[in-house]
Amino acid sequence: MAAGAIEQFDLVVVGCGVAGLSAAVTALEEGARVAILERSGVEDRGGQTRWTEAAMRMKSEHEVSDDFEHHFAENSGHYLDPELISEAAGDYENWSSIVKVLNFTDPELISTLSERAGPTLQWLKSHGVRFDFQPGYFITTCTTRLSPIGGGLAIVEALAAAAEKKGAHFFYKTTARKLLQDESGAVNGLEAVGPGNRVVRFQAPAVVLASGGFEGNSEMLTHYLGTDARYLRPVARGGYYNKGEGIRMALAVGAAPAGDYGQIHAEPLDPRSGAPEPIVLVFNYGILVNRNAVRFINEAPSTVDATYESITRRILKEPEGIAWAIFDARIDDVPNWKRSVRSDQPPVSASTLSDLAGKLGLDAASLQSTVDTYNAACREGHFDPLAVDGLATAPGYLPAKSNWARPIDRAPYFAYPIICGNCFTFGGIKVNARSQVVNADGDPIPGLYAAGEMTGLYYGTYTGATSVLRGAVYGRIAGRSALGRA
């Protein structure tokens, strides 16, 4: 396209992950002329979705897990005003403008997500994606997770192929940066830049923003999360492309913010590894120490899938944002423990604790003292690596370790360094259950829709295995709603 050229479409979709592709294919199936803008080249298309196993909190291909709505409700916001919450129990049409844009997990969005999850999976199946209950990296879990065979990449490839077949116009290496509006305020296109900072404009009666969060933007991360953000990094390559333009563009035309801007979904990563998602999830069988060689947290309050996020967030707050998981030869009592480590680096190992400390750059006397005190607090009891076993440290010892507490005294000793990986950011913009972006007074902004990571949904603890699902469900809803306009 020539510099400054204008292209006309029925729908412009920004982003080629699960949310953008679900929107685009839905609109294409209705015969719309669709443009898909994607910042990366074709080889990296799929954003974060490309790199995920795409676990989905489902109990079958038709129904979400039993704890789905409950977990969201428990993590719907902080110190919410009970008056406003009781208002939210009524019909959406009667909600006041302040409830429509309240900083909470909108129950309308959760019930729609739960209701549409099954049909959306069936739709993905109709495009050739197959699902199963596959073994993941959690040795102990608290819920049910279904995942596509071939992970998120299988979704990306299936939907991108469907979009190509139906005549979508893909614009790779094209970065959206500004929404265009007509005189009434309706969004009617956008401005983007291609290679060489060449400006291109797209016109359409509807735009779907699906460009992910801001995990790839250090300026926004520091702005919203503070200076600890310097120690964060995306968990895989896809995250580096998500720099928050979609969120900024929407806020610039008056979109209401939503989601916890000061929070991320955190994953424990081995900083030495460049493998995708090099998680280390064995600390519950050992101890975590910080740079001062001191324990700072209960490593095993419950199943590992339910607790790793809060533990990892705490690692970020420790000196230099790093900790070490320390364990010993007893780890081999945990069947197949290596499945919960995705680092391609071996653990640091040594035949004495003192040597281990030396290799880690920790003070040997401090590490010995920490381990001795911890060992003295460990008690006799039944160790069950596959279930929450209640084998806890003695009362009064702090921080306690609630499960899997066994002495660390059998050589060889091992350690993995762990930092806080930024799986994705929680801060985004507010949409209603039709995927319409709403302004600060709760009114839809005509012509503007959004889906996926860039919409704010999460507060407190992430309801695990729901981000790909919401991308698919709301992407599909966005495509359908946007067509009403096109």
Ligand X SMILES: Cc1cc2nc3c(=O)[nH]c(=O)nc-3n(C[C@H](O)[C@H](O)[C@H](O)COP(=O)(O)OP(=O)(O)OC[C@H]3O[C@@H](n4cnc5c(N)ncnc54)[C@H](O)[C@@H]3O)c2cc1C
Near ligand X by CB under 6 A: residue from 239, 278, 347, 442: 239
Q: CB of 471: closest distance to ligand X in angstroms?
A: 4
Considering only residues 324 to 363 of the shown chain, the ones binding ligand X according to CB under 6 A are: none
Stretch that binds ligand X, among 10-18, 23-31, 123-131, 371-379 (CB under 6 A): 10-18
Interface with ligand X, residue 38, by CB under 6 A: yes
Near ligand X by CB under 6 A: residue from 400, 471, 477, 485: 471
Near ligand X by CB under 6 A: residue from 35, 236, 300, 483: 236
Near ligand X by CB under 6 A: residue from 158, 235, 281, 306: 235
Interface with ligand X, residue 155, by CB under 6 A: no
Stretch that binds ligand X, among 31-39, 95-103, 195-203, 361-369 (CB under 6 A): 31-39
Interface with ligand X, residue 305, by CB under 6 A: no
Looking at the Cβ atoms of 176 and 331, the one nearer to ligand X is 176
Considering only residues 384 to 423 of the shown chain, the ones binding ligand X according to CB under 6 A are: 423
Q: CB of 288: closest distance to ligand X in angstroms?
A: 22
Q: CB of 302: closest distance to ligand X in angstroms?
A: 19
Interface with ligand X, residue 37, by CB under 6 A: yes
Stretch that binds ligand X, among 5-13, 254-262, 304-312, 463-471 (CB under 6 A): 463-471
Stretch that binds ligand X, among 8-16, 27-35, 295-303, 383-391 (CB under 6 A): 8-16
Interface with ligand X, residue 53, by CB under 6 A: yes
Q: CB of 292: closest distance to ligand X in angstroms?
A: 31
Q: CB of 152: closest distance to ligand X in angstroms?
A: 6
Stretch that binds ligand X, among 79-87, 405-413, 431-439, 468-476 (CB under 6 A): 468-476
Q: What are phi and psi for residue 172, nearest 5 degrees? A: -80, 165
> By CB under 6 A, how many residues form the interface with ligand X?
47
**Residue 105 contacts residue 457 (beta carbons within 8 Å):** yes
Interface with ligand X, residue 242, by CB under 6 A: yes
Looking at the Cβ atoms of 212 and 447, the one nearer to ligand X is 212
Stretch that binds ligand X, among 194-202, 208-216, 405-413, 440-448 (CB under 6 A): 208-216
In 3D space, the residue among 284, 293, 301 whose CA is nearest the CA of residue 371 turns out to be: 293
- Cα–Cα distance, 12 to 171 (Å, whole number): 10
Looking at the Cβ atoms of 55 and 179, the one nearer to ligand X is 55
Looking at the Cβ atoms of 18 and 287, the one nearer to ligand X is 18
Near ligand X by CB under 6 A: residue from 10, 106, 245, 328: 245
Interface with ligand X, residue 268, by CB under 6 A: no
SS3 labels along the chain: CCCCCEEECCEEEECCCHHHHHHHHHHHHCCCCEEEEECCCHHHCCHHHHHCCCCECECCCCCECCCHHHHHHHCCCCCCCHHHHHHHCCCHHHCCHHHHCCCCCCHHHHHHHHHHHHHHHHHHHHCCCCEECCCCCCCCCCCCCEEECCHHHHHHHHHHHHHHHCCCEEEECCEEEEEEECCCCCEEEEEEEEHHHEEEEEECCCEEECCCCCCCCHHHHHHHHCHHHHHCEECCHHHHHCCCHHHHHHHHCCECEECCCCCEEEEEECCCCCCCCCEECCHHHCEEECCCCCECCCCCCCCHHHHHHHHHHHHHHCHHHEEEEEECHHHHHCCCHHHHECCCCCCEEECCHHHHHHHHCCCHHHHHHHHHHHHHHCCCCCCCCCCCCCCCCCCCCCCCCCCCCCCCCCCCEEEEEEEEEEEEECCEECECCCCEEEECCCCEEEEEEECHHHECCCCCCCCCCCHHHHHHHHHHHHHHHHHHHC
Near ligand X by CB under 6 A: residue from 261, 374, 424, 449: 424
Interface with ligand X, residue 210, by CB under 6 A: yes
Determine if residue 348 is left, alpha or beta; phi over 0 gives left, psi from -120 to 50 gives alpha, anything else beta: beta
CB atoms within 10 A of CB 297: 21
Interface with ligand X, residue 456, by CB under 6 A: no
Q: Which residue is nearest to ligand X (CB)?
A: 17
Near ligand X by CB under 6 A: residue from 11, 18, 220, 287: 18
Q: For residue 208, what are the CA distances in angstroms to 181, 187, 367, 464?
A: 14, 10, 53, 25
Residues in contact with ligand X by CB under 6 A are 14-20, 37-40, 46-49, 51-55, 152, 175-176, 210-212, 235-236, 238-239, 241-243, 245-246, 276-277, 423-424, 452-453, 465-469, 471
